[in-house]
Amino acid sequence: MVIAASAAVLLGAIWYTTQVAANEAYDRLLTGNALQIAENTWLQGDSVTVDVPVAAFMLTPGVRTFYTVLDPQGRSIAGDPDFKPDIPWERLSEGPLLSDGVYQDAEVRIVVLGRRLAIDQAHPWAVVAVAQTKTARLSFAKSLSGNALIVIAVMAILTVMASTFTLYQTLAPLERIEQALAARDPNDLAPLAMEVPAEIHALVSAINGFMQRLALHQGLLRRVIGDAAHQLRTPVAALVSQVELLSGQADETRKHAHLARLRSLTSNLGRQIGQLINHAMVQHRADSAIPVCLDIAELVRGEMAEMLSSWHDRDLQALDVGMDMPALPCLVDGDATTLREAVRNILDNALLYGAPGLLHVDIKAVGPDWEVRFIDDGPGIPAASQASVRAPFSPRSGNRAGGSLGLSIVEQVMAAHGGALLFSQDEAGRFAVVLRLRQAAQG
């Protein structure tokens, strides 16, 4: 369609230019004929005499020519006396005057030319008017346009053929990519390895990048399913066992013991399922969440207030709780959802396994970072175990229930934010869990 439209526009332009060229060429011939007649027109005594040269009428075959020569009184003294074009006497001094007209039912091109005579009259002009039918110039323009049309048609066909070949060569790699993807196993997410033109490199790179992200998400899904299946098998089996023991137990004392055990198992199972879900959520948001600027001090204050108000597993009346933070906002760029989950897991661990009498949170700037320190007076984590507790499902000391995911979640959140999870002691020798986050750029 583009080539056809371009050819139509080009043909119209050629038709117009050939018409103009033919008119200019024949107008010059027509004017030349009139000038030859005018050069052979002179004043002899009181009358105008003309000697019409034969060369003035040697034109293209099939062209009819009419002429007339008028004296200053407008009388025809030579040529066809019936040929009487309008004579613009006032404009004869401008030179040859060209116009279109009709004579003997034929379209003609007329030139009117005046020759000044040495007489004292209102119109001292001998007038030569020559008309030529327009068939020759139309045939000439059609011939030129026809030849141009042939050239355009040939070039259009060649262009279509070349474009088709070029498009085929360009799209052939896309067909190979389609065939390679269609032939793959649904679980095969390896990058495409094929030679393609430079113009297709960006497409192949985008496909490979997408498959890499898809492979990561599939791996994450498989890990979550595998972890859940592995970690929940034992507590579910314990629940089933306790239910069977309870259903066949008649002794009230033993029945109450089994019920207490059921409550504990159910609570631990709920906590473990929650950790598994949060662990999967943190892994998913690590590469999908859009970071925003937030105040880490406000986030920690809110989580601590919510945790303490909803904690029912121990008496918090005697717990020394405190927060120390700068007056200015402690801004970081991060994901509020996963940062809350990290803070919640640290506080949960402190209230479950540490902080018998003290839980403080200190926030301060250390170089380009913010350090959030969770300090308690519990036994802390032994140095030998500080590396292993960062990994999910690590062995737990003290016969603790659960999936050992709390600090693993914190470690993953810090890694996603370009921060760090550290363990240290304060000046009084109390254990501290430290979150280090880069300060947000001040805009």
Return the CATH number at 27.
3.30.450
What pLDDT band is residue 228 in, cutting at 50, 70 and 90?
low
Q: Mean pLDDT lowest for which of 229-233, 279-283, 334-338, 386-390? A: 229-233
Which DSSP state fits 93?
Answer: G
Other Cβ atoms within 10 Å of 269 Cβ, number: 19
CA distance 384 to 425: 15
* Domain assignment of residue 111, given as a range: 2-142
Strands in 123-271 per DSSP E: 125-133
Residue 402 confidence (pLDDT): 47
Residue 197 confidence (pLDDT): 78
CA distance 221 to 213: 12
Highest mean pLDDT among 147-151, 183-187, 251-255, 302-306: 302-306
Highest mean pLDDT among 312-326, 340-354, 391-405: 340-354
Instruction: Answer with the one of 142, 159, 174 that is the final residue of a domain.
Output: 142
Residue carrying structure tokens 């279509």: 160
Q: Are residues 251 and 266 in the same domain?
A: yes
293, β-bridge pairs: 333
Q: Are residues 68 and 119 in the same domain?
A: yes
Q: Are residues 328 and 412 in the same domain?
A: yes
Which of these, 172, 213, 176, lies nearest to 191 by C-alpha position? 213
What pLDDT band is residue 404 in, cutting at 50, 70 and 90?
low
Q: Are residues 16 and 117 in the same domain?
A: yes
State yes or no: pLDDT of 98 exceeds 50. yes
Number of domains in the chain: 3
Contact 350, 311 (CB under 8 A): no
Instruction: Please tell me whether residue 70 adopts helix, strand or coil conformation.
Output: strand
State yes or no: pLDDT of 72 exceeds 70. yes
Q: Are residues 294 and 443 in the same domain?
A: yes
The verdict on residue 317 lying in a domain is: yes
CA distance 200 to 110: 65
Residue carrying structure tokens 């998913």: 284
CA distance 43 to 213: 102
Contact 29, 134 (CB under 8 A): no
Instruction: Please tell me whether residue 403 adopts helix, strand or coil conformation.
Output: coil
Residue 312 confidence (pLDDT): 65
The verdict on residue 152 lying in a domain is: no
Q: Are residues 321 and 441 in the same domain?
A: yes
Q: Are residues 360 and 419 in the same domain?
A: yes
Amino acid at 225: I
Q: Mean pLDDT lowest for which of 26-40, 172-186, 323-337, 400-414? A: 400-414
Other Cβ atoms within 10 Å of 155 Cβ, number: 13
State yes or no: pLDDT of 61 exceeds 70. no
The verdict on residue 9 lying in a domain is: yes
Highest mean pLDDT among 10-19, 134-143, 269-278, 409-418: 409-418
State yes or no: pLDDT of 189 exceeds 70. yes
The verdict on residue 204 lying in a domain is: yes
* Four-residue CA torsion sign, 196, 199, 202, 203: negative
pTM of the model: 0.51
State yes or no: pLDDT of 392 exceeds 80. no
Highest mean pLDDT among 84-88, 203-207, 347-351, 362-366: 362-366
Q: Are residues 7 and 124 in the same domain?
A: yes
Instruction: Answer with the one of 241, 260, 288 that is the final residue of a domain.
Output: 288
Instruction: Please tell me whether residue 381 adopts helix, strand or coil conformation.
Output: coil
Instruction: Answer with the one of 239, 262, 288 that is the final residue of a domain.
Output: 288
Residue 278: HSE in the Cβ half-sphere, 13 Å Cα cutoff: 27
CA distance 86 to 89: 9
Tell me what percent of the chain is helix, strand and coil, each rounded to the nearest 5. Answer: 55, 20, 25
The verdict on residue 158 lying in a domain is: no
The verdict on residue 153 lying in a domain is: no
Which DSSP state fits 57?
Answer: G
CA angle 47, 50, 56 (to 5 degrees): 160
Residue 230 confidence (pLDDT): 65
Residues 6+ apart with CB under 8 A from 52: 37, 40, 67, 69, 78, 79
Q: Are residues 195 and 274 in the same domain?
A: yes
* Four-residue CA torsion sign, 277, 283, 287, 292: positive
Q: Are residues 271 and 394 in the same domain?
A: no
* Number of separate helices (H) and strands (E) present in the chain: 7, 14
Mean pLDDT for the stretch of residues 178-194: 84
What pLDDT band is residue 372 in, cutting at 50, 70 and 90?
very high
Highest mean pLDDT among 64-68, 217-221, 247-251: 64-68
Residue 397 confidence (pLDDT): 53
Residue 118: HSE in the Cβ half-sphere, 13 Å Cα cutoff: 4
Residue 408 confidence (pLDDT): 86
